[in-house]
Amino acid sequence: MKYWYATGLLGVLAISGISGCGMILQEGQTSAEGVVVDSVTGQAVGPAQVRLYTRAKRGTSAVLTAADRWRDTDAHGRFAFSFEAKSEYEYVVRATSPRGESNYLTPPQLKGGRKNKGLRVPVDAPAWVRIHLRDEPPRTDAVNIVVGGFQQSFIIRPPKDTVIFRFVPPGDNVVGWQLNGGRTTPAEEHRIRYTVAGMDTARVQIRY
């Protein structure tokens, strides 16, 4: 009985020791090495700047706080730096460049107390969508048309032949539109999918 108790105790101590080592590895001297890339094409973007951000591991807040200064990459977007990590924080690297900057969902997370190599920090190049609205005969009796799928939706009153430009993230996107208030036209949502590259303009035509 004593033998099993001692064995169990040693097992607990061993597990505790492993856990303790794991926690220790999450802090201390930490290095980050990688390259800034276009979020769509994956190609290197440079020159650029990178910055270390942090957030508390405990708690519900997802807010990132700058933990260091902006650091210049080389002409090919490559960077390398080191810092002292603390076990109670998570660390990520964000980037900014003339082509665009990182959003808050994609920056790579670093492992404290480790050598973080081969990091790829994506930046989103700006893109646009050109929306052409055409009220074709027979004219609609709708009161308005709502168009969305980007940061600022808009409402216009038909009949109009209108062109609107909006900023959108590069990659796959959707334009949604709906006619409202018509006696003969149902208030049905329509969706148009499109893909746009960074620094480019997608063209979408809405006919109703």
Helix (H) or strand (E) holding 5: helix 2-24
Q: Which of 106, 123, 140 is the last residue of a domain?
A: 123
Question: What token pair was written down for 114?
Answer: 């480790």
Contacts of 30 (CB under 8 A, 6+ apart): 82, 83, 84, 85, 91, 110, 111, 112, 113, 114, 115, 116
Q: How far is residue 88 from each of residues 5, 22, 108, measured CA to CA in Å?
A: 34, 13, 18
Number of domain units in the chain: 2
Residue pair 156/177 in contact (Cβ under 8 Å)? The answer is no
Farthest-apart Cα atoms in the chain, separation: 92
Within-domain flag for 7: no
Determine the structural domain holding residue 54 and report its residue range. 28-123
110, 49: one domain: yes
* Tens of pLDDT, residues 114-168: 999 999 999 998 899 999 999 888 888 888 999 999 888 889 887 678 999 999 9
Within-domain flag for 59: yes
Q: What three-state secondary structure class fits 60?
A: coil
Within-domain flag for 50: yes
pLDDT, tens digit only, all 208 positions of the chain? 433 333 343 343 333 333 333 334 578 999 999 999 998 889 999 999 999 999 888 866 678 899 999 999 999 999 999 999 999 999 999 999 998 899 877 788 999 999 999 999 999 988 999 999 998 888 888 889 999 998 888 898 876 789 999 999 888 999 999 999 888 878 889 999 999 988 899 999 998 8
CA distance 54 to 110: 10
